[in-house]
Amino acid sequence: MTRLERSPTTTLAPRADADNRPEGRLQAEELEARVETVAALAEDNAADVDREARFPTEAIDAARAQRLMGIMVPRELGGEGASLSAVADICYRLGRACASSAMIYAMHQIMVACLLRHKGNSAWHEGLLRRLCAEQLLLASSTTEGRGGGNLRSSEAAIEASGSRITLERRATVISYGANADAIVTTARRAADAAASDQILVVFLKEDYSLEPLVAWNTLGMRGTCSAGFTLRGSGEADQILPEPYEAIHPQTMVPVSHLAWASVWAGIAAGSVERAQFFVRNAARQAGGQLPPGAAHYTTATASLVTLRGLVASSLQRFEQAAHDRQKLASLDFQTMVNLTKVEASELAVATVMAAFRACGLSGYRDDGEYTMGRYLRDVLSSPIMINNDRILANVGASSLLSPVPSALRG
C-alpha cells in the first residue's frame, strides 16, 4: 500500500527557545527533514516488518545515516545536545509510521539517557558515547529475567569479579532487538552475595557477549522489535559498570525516560490511526455528496482523545525537564507517582484513541487488505498497557499515594 498523503507534521512538545532565532529555526527544519527521511522509509517497510516479524533494518539504517542515534549526546562528545522533548518528537513521528521502528529508537535513547546522566567521570563510558556518535551504535537493554518478570528493581544474575575483569550469565526472558544491537546495557546484582535489589547497570559491547536463544518472539503486535529471550553471557572490564548504583539510576532516569519515550511512541501510533480515519471519513463524505458516514462521530472521539494524550505527554515531558537536575525532586514520591501514572494514562488513552479511529472506519478498518486497515495500529498499541503491566504500576502507586495529600488547588 502506498503512503497516504500526510498533513503537516505535528510535534508533541513546544519548540525550544532556540527556535525563536533564525539559526534555531533552520536547525529545527533541518532535523525535521532528517526525521522525515527516516519515517518515510519506516512507513514503506512497516507492513513487511510486521508480517515477517523482522528487524526494521531500513528504518534503523536510515536513522544511522541521518545521525539520529547520538542526538542527545553533548556536542563535545560528538552529538547534538538534543533535549528529551526533541527525542520524544522523533519517537512520535516514527510511531505514526512504524511502531516497531519507533519503539526500538525509543529504547535505544533510554539507554543513552542512562549513560549520559550516570556516567560520572568514567572515561570508559565517555569513550563509549564518543564511539556511539562516531559509529551510530545501537544500544539494547536487558532488564527482564527469570521469575522477576517485569520487576526492574530485582535481579537474579550476579556480576562475578576477578581482579579487573567481570563476567555475567543472565537468563533474560526479553532482550528487544538483542541480535541486532551493537551493545547491551543490563542490570545485575552487584555480587553473588548481594541482595536482589542491590543492582548495577553494566554495558557489554557486541564483542563482549554471546546470546543463546531462550524464548522466541511471535506476538500479536510490535513484531519487529524482535524481543526474544536469550541467555546472555558477557565479560569485560569492571570499568564497564556505571559508577552510580541502579537504585539511583532507576528513579532518576530509567523510569521517567522510559515512560515518556514509550508514551511518545504510543501517541504516534494513535496519531497514525486518527490520520487514517480522517482520510476515510473525508473520502466517504466526498463520495456521498457531503454526507458524513455513520462512524464520523467516532472520528471526533478519536481526535479529542488524541488531543488529551498529546497534552498529557507534553506536560509530563516539561515537568521532567524542569526537574532533570534536581535529584531529590526526581526521586520524590510526587514526581514518581506523576510519571508512573503518565505511563498508565498514556497507554490507556492510546488504546482508546485507536479503537475510536477503528470504529470510525467500520468494516474498511476491519479489513486487512485495504488502504484504511487498522489492524497493525490496533495490534501494536495493545502492547502499551502490558509493557510494565499497568496493574503492577497501579498497585504500587495505590499504596504509595496514600501518603500524599490530595491537591488543594488546580495548578501547582
Asked if 308 and 349 sit in the same domain, the reply is yes
Give the residue from 117, 138, 159 where a domain finishes: 138
Predicted pLDDT at 403: 75
Q: Is residue 408 part of a domain?
A: no
Q: Full-prediction pTM beyond 0.85?
A: yes
**Mind listing the pLDDT tens digit for each residue in 194-235?**
999 999 999 999 999 999 999 999 999 999 999 999 999 999
Residues in the chain: 412
- Domain assignment of residue 410, yes or no: no
Residue type, 49: V
Residue 7 lies in a domain: no
Region label for 27, one of left (φ > 0), alpha (ψ between -120 and 50) or beta (otherwise): alpha
Q: Is 223 contained in some domain?
A: yes
Overall number of domains in the chain: 3
Is residue 150 located within the same domain as residue 111? Answer: no
393 with 361, same domain: the answer is yes
Q: What is the pLDDT of residue 16?
A: 45
8 within some domain: no
Instruction: List, for residues 28-45, the tens digit of each pLDDT value.
Output: 899 999 999 999 999 999
For residue 18, is pLDDT > 50? no
Q: Please say whether the beta carbons of 146 and 156 come within 8 A.
A: yes
Say if residue 84 is in the same domain as residue 154.
Answer: no
Residue 22 pLDDT > 70: no
**Cα 410 to chain centroid, rounded:** 30
From CA 140, how far away is CA 93, in angstroms rounded? Answer: 21
Which pLDDT value is given to residue 10?
63
Q: Name the domain boundary from 138, 159, 185.
A: 138
Query: CATH no. for residue 319?
Result: 1.20.140.10
The 3-class secondary structure across the chain, one letter per residue, is: CCCCCCCCCCCCCCCCHHHHCHHHHHHHHHHHHHHHHHHHHHHHHHHHHHHHCCCCHHHHHHHHHCCCCCCCCCHHHCCCCCCHHHHHHHHHHHHHHCHHHHHHHHHHHHHHHHHHHHCCCCHHHHHHHHHHHHHCCCEEEECEEHHHECCCCCCCCECEEECCEEEEEEEECECCCHHHCCEEEEEEECCCCCCCCCEEEEEEEHHHEEEEEEECCCCCCCHHHCCCEEEEEEEEEHHHECCCCHHHHHHHHHHHHHHHHHHHHHHHHHHHHHHHHHHHHHHHHHHCCCCCCCCHHHHHHHHHHHHHHHHHHHHHHHHHHHHCCCHHHHCCHHHHHHHHHHHHHHHHHHHHHHHHHHHHHCHHHHCCCCCCCCHHHHHHHCCHHHCCCHHHHHHHHHHHHCCCCCCCCCCC
213 grid coordinates: 536463544
Residue 224 one-letter amino acid: G
Q: Is residue 225 assigned to a domain? A: yes
350 & 322 share domain: yes
Are residue 254 and residue 345 in the same domain, yes or no? yes
C-alpha grid cell, residue 190: 552487584
Chosen domain end from 81, 115, 138: 138
Instruction: Let me know if residue 232 belongs to a domain.
Output: yes
Same domain, 255 and 360: yes
The per-residue pLDDT for 205 is: 98
Residues 114 and 129 in one domain: yes
Structural domain that includes position 358: 246-401
Residues 392 and 263 occupy one common structural domain: yes
Residue 76 lies in a domain: yes
Question: Residue 302: what pLDDT?
Answer: 98
Q: How far apart are the first and last CA of the chain?
A: 47
pLDDT band, residue 2 (cuts 50/70/90): very low
> CA angle 232-386-383, nearest 5°?
90
Do residues 268 and 379 both lie within one domain? yes
Distances (CA, A) of 61 to 11, 66, 99, 260, 273: 23, 9, 16, 24, 25
Say if strands 165-172 and 160-162 run parallel, antiparallel, or are unpaired: antiparallel
pLDDT tens digit sequence for 128-162: 999 999 999 999 999 998 765 568 889 999 999 99
Beta bridge partners of 236: 166
Round to whole Å and give the CA distance between 336 and 212: 36
Q: Domain check: are 272 and 347 in the same one?
A: yes
CATH of the domain at 215: 2.40.110.10
Q: Which pLDDT does position 146 carry in this prediction? A: 74
CATH of the domain at 77: 1.10.540.10
pLDDT, tens digit, 9 for 90 and up, residues 311-350: 999 999 999 999 999 999 999 999 999 999 999 999 999 9
| 130 and 192 together in one domain | no
